[in-house]
């Protein structure tokens, strides 16, 4: 619940501590933020720098992930995040991965930080010890200095400076990023976005001040019917670049089920060069 994570959050105006008063979150300086009826709070000043996922994309993600297709990735995330302390999921989406981490650690709490309201609504009810917070990862995070034990980043943007600020000195950053083989059977036929061969190196280069501690490659084959293929494409960045009708026509031409490779690297970073 939101109350569980307030000790780790800070006011986006003045960085003061926050408390829950009735239906709003407030700081000692008088800044107040209404809690949505779904249970999340938005701690954002002005408009976000980037647009969040649409309601359709969020629904597709919920459908696909809840079916368990990415279970090997979830298992790797849970293993990488093992330990104690607060977990901050940056670009948490529906809260699927963070909920799994909390399930495995009954004494922990987690912050699902997300900009898209459709995702926040789902994340707010993803787990009893999860607090959903609306915020922009490209700005100062409404999180206290050194407050979190693990920062989790699954297929989402990364703000290295802010991650370093909110991580405890011995904290970890866990990043899940696709490899060039990810969804390879669908990329050319459906016109999906490609992943660079040097993706892992690019991710690390985007994180100055962090050093790779561990890498866990996960590659597996999924057997998907057409509806599942549409959900898989619809939940990711390619959804912004493909026409829905054209996509459906192309998917209809695929065999059913179709074998699709999922290929990611789960990398754990620690602070320090």
pLDDT digits (tens, 9 = 90+) for 66-112: 999 999 999 999 999 999 999 999 999 999 999 999 999 999 999 99
CATH of the domain at 266: 3.40.50.150
pLDDT at site 48: 63
SS3 50: coil
What is the span of the domain harbouring residue 248?
Answer: 2-271
Q: Is 216 left (phi over 0), alpha (psi -120 to 50) or beta?
A: beta
Strands 110-114, 130-134: pairing is parallel
pLDDT tens digits for range 132-148: 999 999 999 999 999 99
User: Using CA atoms, how far apart are residues 178 and 243, in angstroms rounded to an integer?
Assistant: 23
Give pLDDT < 70 ranges for the chain: 47-51, 273
The residue assigned the tokens 């940056």 is: 90
H/E stretch holding 215 reads strand 210-224
Phi first, then psi: give them for residue 92, nearest 5 degrees.
-70, -15
* Structural domain total, the chain: 1
Q: Which residue has the tokens 């602070």?
A: 271
pLDDT in tens, 42-57: 998 876 666 678 899 9
Cis-peptide into 59, omega within 30 deg: no
* pLDDT, position 106: 93
Pairing of strands 148-154, 87-90: parallel
> Residues in the chain, how many?
273
Tell me the CA distances in angstroms from 250 to 11, 223, 227, 247, one per residue in order: 48, 17, 12, 5
pTM for the full predicted model: 0.94
CA dist., res. 253 & res. 273, Å (int):
49
């Amino acid at each position: 619940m939101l109350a569980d994570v307030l000790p780790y959050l800070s006011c986006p105006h003045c960085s003061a501590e926050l408390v829950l008063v009735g239906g709003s979150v407030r700081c000692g300086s008088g800044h107040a933020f209404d809690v949505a009826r779904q249970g999340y709070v938005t701690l954002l000043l002005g408009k976000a720098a980037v647009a969040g996922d649409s309601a359709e994309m969020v629904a597709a993600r919920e459908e696909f992930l809840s079916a368990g297709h990415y279970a090997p990735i979830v298992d790797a995330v849970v293993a990488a995040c093992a330990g104690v302390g607060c977990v901050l999921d940056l670009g948490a989406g529906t809260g699927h991965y963070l909920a799994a981490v909390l399930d495995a650690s009954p004494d922990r709490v987690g912050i699902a930080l997300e900009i898209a309201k459709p995702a926040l609504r789902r994340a707010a009810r993803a787990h009893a010890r999860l607090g959903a917070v609306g915020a922009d990862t490209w700005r100062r995070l409404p999180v206290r200095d050194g407050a979190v034990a693990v920062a989790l980043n699954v297929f989402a943007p990364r703000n290295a400076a802010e991650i370093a600020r909110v991580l405890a000195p011995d904290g970890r950053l866990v990043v899940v990023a696709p490899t060039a083989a990810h969804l390879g059977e669908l990329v050319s036929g459906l016109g999906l976005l490609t992943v660079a061969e040097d993706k892992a190196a690019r991710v690390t280069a985007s994180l100055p001040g962090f050093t790779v501690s561990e890498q866990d490659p996960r590659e597996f084959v999924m057997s998907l019917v057409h509806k599942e293929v549409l959900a898989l494409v619809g939940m990711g960045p390619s959804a912004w670049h493909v026409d829905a009708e054209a996509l459906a026509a192309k998917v209809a031409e695929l065999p059913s089920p179709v074998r699709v490779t999922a290929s990611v690297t789960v990398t754990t970073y620690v602070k320090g060069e």
